[in-house]
Amino acid sequence: MSELHVVFGTGALGKWTTRELVNMGKRVRVISHSGKADPRLPEGVEIVQGDAYDTQHNIEVTKGATAVYQCAQPLYHEWAEKFPSMQKAILDAVAANGAKFIVGDNLYMYGDTNGQPIREDLPYQPHTKKGRVRGEMSTTIMEAHRSGKIRAAIGRASNFFGPDDTAVTSYAIRPALEGKSINLLGRTDQPHTFSYVADFGKLLATLGTREESLGQIWFTPSPAPITQMELVRIMEEELGHKVKFMAAGKLMLSLLGLFAPTLRESVEMLYEWDKPFIMDSSKAQKAFGFQGTPLRQAMKETVAWIRESK
């Protein structure tokens, strides 16, 4: 049998990491909260019901694994209280079984760089609640690697979209296909790096199968930054019709947040949209030899998936 790779989480990132590992010929076990079969996962993938907060159960389901991928997360408004304990339960299981630990992450811990490009080696300067949570969790991982407790690598992406995504894809692309107004955030004229979730999954699978990646942080190969208005234009080209949009600022998000916890948690992240938000992914591009999917192709594939899943 080929080596075992275990993926925690069946969201968009978990699915794309799983697909890439299967394409590499790896045996994959996915840990799902429900444990139900998922037709969006490749044939032959083993799906196991599990509670990511349960260390002992995590030890059992990761036994014999070459690498373990953390693609699971609590609800957005529960990060501060639940995310660190989830990570610890998975990390301790990885340590017990001697597997590699590959973590899907974001850019929150770098804080507001005032429009300067974000690179892997920038110091953490979080000024938001969720940025501090992510920064502390990342520090814990790399300290555990340096101490020899685990062997780990962290993959990060900017705001991503694509098939299976229920965040950017759901509020900024799916409504357009249905002829509805889409929701954007902050200013629409600032350059912003958008990552494609399939590329993010490919990066994590690469990190889990390349020993030289360990002990480092890597950014997902992504296309050059564009404004939200330019993204709307690409969407219009693919759909063949004009797209109406609404851009929510701090006041509107705060009001909507009275009824929706996720929107309430988005207020502190508006800085990503009010200034240039540029991620430099050249390190991974040079090391692993793959580029980010062109945005027009990514949009075409995303729209095709939305149409299929209606």
The rounded mean pLDDT for the chain is: 95
Task: Residue count of the chain, please give it.
Answer: 310
Structural domain for 177, as ranges = 168-189+226-274
Q: What are phi and psi of 302, to 5 degrees?
A: -70, -45
Question: Is residue 109 assigned to a domain?
Answer: yes
Same domain, 83 and 173: no
Confidence of residue 88 (pLDDT cuts 50, 70, 90): very high
* DSSP string across 86-152: HHHHHHHHHHHHT-EEEEEE-SGGG---TTPPB-TTSPP---SHHHHHHHHHHHHHHHHHHHTS-EE
Taking the model in full, what pTM does it have? 0.96
Q: pLDDT tens digits, residue range 214-231?
A: 999 999 999 999 999 999
Q: Check whether 260 has a pLDDT greater than 80.
A: no
Same domain, 146 and 44: yes
Question: What integer pLDDT is reported at residue 265 of this predicted model?
Answer: 85
Same domain, 51 and 96: yes
Same domain, 156 and 289: yes
Question: Is residue 116 assigned to a domain?
Answer: yes
Question: What integer pLDDT is reported at residue 250 of this predicted model?
Answer: 79
Question: Is residue 307 assigned to a domain?
Answer: no
Question: What integer pLDDT is reported at residue 257 of this predicted model?
Answer: 61
Question: Is residue 304 assigned to a domain?
Answer: no
CATH at residue 208: 3.40.50.720
Question: What integer pLDDT is reported at residue 258 of this predicted model?
Answer: 65
Question: Is residue 299 assigned to a domain?
Answer: no
Report the candidate in 29, 35, 140 with the shortest Cα–Cα distance to residue 92.
140
Q: pLDDT tens digits, residue range 6-65?
A: 999 999 999 999 999 999 999 999 999 999 989 999 999 999 999 999 999 999 999 999
Same domain, 182 and 260: yes
CB atoms within 10 A of CB 259: 8
- Give me the residues paired with residue 46 across strands: 29
Q: What angle do CA 220, 98, 55 make, to 5 degrees?
A: 90
Same domain, 73 and 215: yes
Query: How far apart (Å, rounded) are the C-alpha atoms in residues 218 and 105?
Result: 10
Same domain, 105 and 155: yes
Question: Is residue 300 assigned to a domain?
Answer: no
Same domain, 250 and 198: no
Report the candidate in 204, 229, 199, 232 with the shortest Cα–Cα distance to residue 218.
204
Confidence of residue 167 (pLDDT cuts 50, 70, 90): confident
Question: Is residue 97 assigned to a domain?
Answer: yes
Question: What integer pLDDT is reported at residue 46 of this predicted model?
Answer: 97
Encode 116-150: b = buried (16+ Cβ within 10 Å), e = exposed.
eebbbebeeebebebbbbbbebbeebbebbeeeeb
Query: How far apart (Å, rounded) are the C-alpha atoms in residues 228 and 224?
Result: 13
Same domain, 198 and 72: yes
Confidence of residue 1 (pLDDT cuts 50, 70, 90): low
Same domain, 43 and 103: yes
> What domain count does the chain have?
2
SS3 43: coil
Same domain, 98 and 110: yes
Same domain, 287 and 250: no
Q: pLDDT tens digits, residue range 9-26?
A: 999 999 999 999 999 999
Question: Is residue 124 assigned to a domain?
Answer: yes
Query: What is the maximum span of the chain, computed from C-alpha positions, in angstroms?
Result: 56
Distance of CA 147 to the CA centre of its chain: 26
